[in-house]
Amino acid sequence: MKNKILKPTPEIKYAEELEILRAADTGARPANWLMSPKSVKIFILGSDKPIECKGKKVKISKKFFGDDSLVERSIITLAGNRGLMLVGAPGTAKTMLSELLSAAICGISTNTIQGTAGTTEDMIKYSWNYAILLAKGPVKEALVPAPLYTGMKEGIITRFEEITRCPLEMQDSMISVMSDKIMNIPEFAEEPVLYATPGFNVIATANTRDKGINEMSSALKRRFNFETVMPVSSVSLEARIIEQECEKMFAEANIEMKINHDVVEILALTFRELREGITYENIKVDVPSSVMSTAEAVSVYFQTAIDSYYYGNGKITADKLVQNIKGAVVKENTEDIGKLKSYFNTVVKKRADKEGALWQEYYEAKKI
């Protein structure tokens, strides 16, 4: 039996959708794009009706839940050969959106630079095979391409994750590439410049929480169009995302469990109120320093579910749920446990007295 891929990339996971969209696509395409901007948008936001081509029908699933107009603006930015910068709080699906855009446009989402404090220029542009370099000198076969070189040469998108985590001099090494679409390779005397092939572009991401760590220079900022990815504001939409993502994760883990919709609603409401600092009854609550993102909520529900699957009877209990919520809240500052206690002693207690049932179990689990 072949080993399964733990986390398939979008081009693998949605291969059937991509195939039929490309086959059925009759729209105008920017140079070297695998599908038109219209089809890219359909791939990311889904279709109301199945796409049909050559007798085959495929329903295109909705993959990004948020601002639909942001997706359209992002596609147009890339079609216009401008770099795209996706900024926002952690857990707002910036990375996922950049992967989906890359998979749809060029069929490759793995041409990626991961920004860290230790990222160097050769990790961004190119390095050398020193055995060949010593034997033959700076010949082309000695050059080891990094993601930016690959993107320019092959005319595909280069993704730059967490760009503000990189030192400023590493960030600024992108300026000439973004503006002139060329990369200087001084070691090559005869061909010292690599010219970008049509289709090349850069999608970068940055967390607003990281602002000030390595603030981007104004020169580099001017090379990008900025789009802010906001957290999900609707409780019902957040609950839907939690359910949809956890169902996928159950299937991938070969776990047979049904989603408890009532528990998901409570979890989504808790995360939204702790994130925004106010409840639907207009009660102000203290906001913890941890990131109360939708992605974190998905993780909390999944961890609670698999705990009950392996160690319980398959039924999610309030105790286990609160235990995992506590883990998410105190991730950055243990003093935030006081803010969570306050939320339970005011908001949850009031709802338990009024609505009873699951809210009462939820409140009683505060002993965790």
Give pLDDT tens digits for 180-234: 999 999 988 878 999 999 999 999 999 887 655 567 889 999 999 999 999 888 8
What is the residue-averaged pLDDT of the chain? Answer: 92
Rounded to whole angstroms, how far apart are CA atoms 303 and 359? 20
pLDDT tens string 300-319: 999 999 999 999 888 898 99
Residues 6+ apart with CB under 8 A from 226: 85, 87
pLDDT number for residue 368: 73
Quick check: 366 and 325 in contact, CB under 8 A?
no
Quick check: 74 and 101 in contact, CB under 8 A?
yes
Neighbours of 25 (CB within 10 A): 19
**Amino acid found at 354:** K
Rounded to whole angstroms, how far apart are CA atoms 151 and 161? 15
pLDDT number for residue 363: 93
Largest CA distance in the chain: 80
The whole-model pTM stands at 0.90
Quick check: 200 and 152 in contact, CB under 8 A?
yes
pLDDT number for residue 1: 38
> Two tokens at 227?
């789009």
How many CA atoms are closer than 13 Å to the CA of 79, on its beta-carbon side?
Answer: 18
- Above 60 in pLDDT, residue 2? no
Rounded to whole angstroms, how far apart are CA atoms 135 and 139? 10
Average pLDDT over residues 60-82: 95
